[in-house]
Amino acid sequence: MKKKQKIDVAQLITDKMIEIIQKTKRLIWHKEWSCGFGLAGPNAPRNFVTKKAYRGCNTLMLSAQGYESPWWMTFKQAKAKGGSIIKGSKGTMVVWFDMLLLDKNGVRVTDPQLAEKKIPLLKYSTVFNAEQISGIDFPAPAKIKEQPTAKRIEAAEAVLDGYKTAPPTKFGGNRACYSPALDRISMPAIEQFNTEESFYKTYFHEAIHSTGHKDRLSRKGITEFDKFGSEQYSKEE
């Protein structure tokens, strides 16, 4: 029987972090809005079952996914709560340390009092964001103070009004994206942006993506999405 190849968890997490860094570098992009989401605060990534915030590289990995909700769960946790993972959702890896307990003869034990030796083991699991889970009512993200000075730009609004077959737009949260599956644009509120111009620049970007929907221009970068960073994805961007 062929031996199962041992997984190097440290290398896995390193590769994932490098992938995120390279992706950000390649897109030459920086977020132009704020929402109280990120590495700290009430909207930092945390487990829905334990209510504990993730720490270390897990915080970076989960925050980089850009979801509005701070809540995450494993497949088993979601199932136990009566939820299910939405079809096509891709999980995110988190890591933690477990202790291997050995007695004086080198035999594995579960009782820490019988352990003569404790060896830390790096392990990993896959978690899904609340936005990837159906059947569970998650608390809404904590509200934050918004900038009260934002004003609509008439000329930019006229451009948006001229897009007669535009999909609906969901405002609020921490994500600016277009979902071909839902045919919906998601945008942070204009008050969350550093400038009004930044709001419209981002909104136009996502609106242009939506023109590629199968019922509009049927562009391959939208209708036949393969993977982030591919030639087809880069062309669409």
Phi, psi of 203 (to 5 degrees): -65, -45
Give the end of a domain, one of 67, 102, 134. 134
Query: pLDDT by residue for the chain (237 residues), tens digit each?
Result: 455 556 676 677 667 666 666 655 444 445 666 655 455 567 789 999 999 988 888 887 888 787 889 999 999 999 999 999 999 999 998 988 888 888 888 888 888 888 888 888 788 899 999 999 999 999 988 775 555 566 889 999 999 999 999 999 998 777 788 888 889 998 888 887 878 888 898 899 999 999 999 999 988 888 887 766 677 777 877
Q: Look at residue 2 and tell me if it is in a domain.
A: no
Entry pTM: 0.50
> Cα separation of 130 and 136, whole Å?
8
Domain final position from 106, 134, 162: 134
Residues 115 and 228 in one domain: no
Same domain (yes/no): 129, 27: yes
Residues 202 and 129 in one domain: no
Task: Give the total number of structural domains in the chain.
Answer: 2
